[in-house]
Amino acid sequence: KNQVEQSPQSLIILEGKNCTLQCNYTVSPFSNLRWYKQDTGRGPVSLTIMTFSENTKSNGRYTATLDADTKQSSLHITASQLSDSASYICVGGASGTYKYIFGTGTRLKVLA
């Protein structure tokens, strides 16, 4: 069964600190792994997309890693800002289908 699990469920950090969010996936046949940021009441916005051949991808202060062997991904946020407060969703894409498998997300709260 295709599934994506994320940890932690929620996280609170102080502004300026770094944090790392985790994602374990079981998606077969695996095509790509994405990270989205979702503000409350808004649609998800893409941060990074990685295929199985990519190990890391950065988008500003966001850096995602992918280990296709262990089926794990992480999203590292550097020098967090108050505007980083949101839900971060890990999404798996399977080959041969345009359907996406969504994780339940990590709710991040950045405090001043």
Residue 30 to residue 78: CA distance in whole angstroms: 28
Read off the tokens for 103. Answer: 């994780």
Of 31, 24, 22, 26, residue with least CA distance to 53: 31
Asked if 2 is part of the footprint of another protein (rule: CB under 8 A), the reply reads no
Pick the closer one to another protein by CB: 93 or 110: 93
CB atoms within 10 A of CB 45: 10
Residue 64 to residue 21: CA distance in whole angstroms: 9
Pairing of strands 19-26, 72-77: antiparallel
Q: How far is the CB of 42 from another protein (least distance, A)?
A: 6
The span of 14-22, 59-67, 77-85, 101-109 binding another protein (CB under 8 A) equals 101-109
Window 12 to 31, contacts with another protein (CB under 8 A): 31
**Interface pattern 56-95 for another protein (x via CB under 8 A):** ---------------------------------x-x-x--
Interacting residue ranges for another protein, rule: CB under 8 A:
31-32, 34, 41-46, 49, 51, 89, 91, 93, 98-100, 102-105, 107
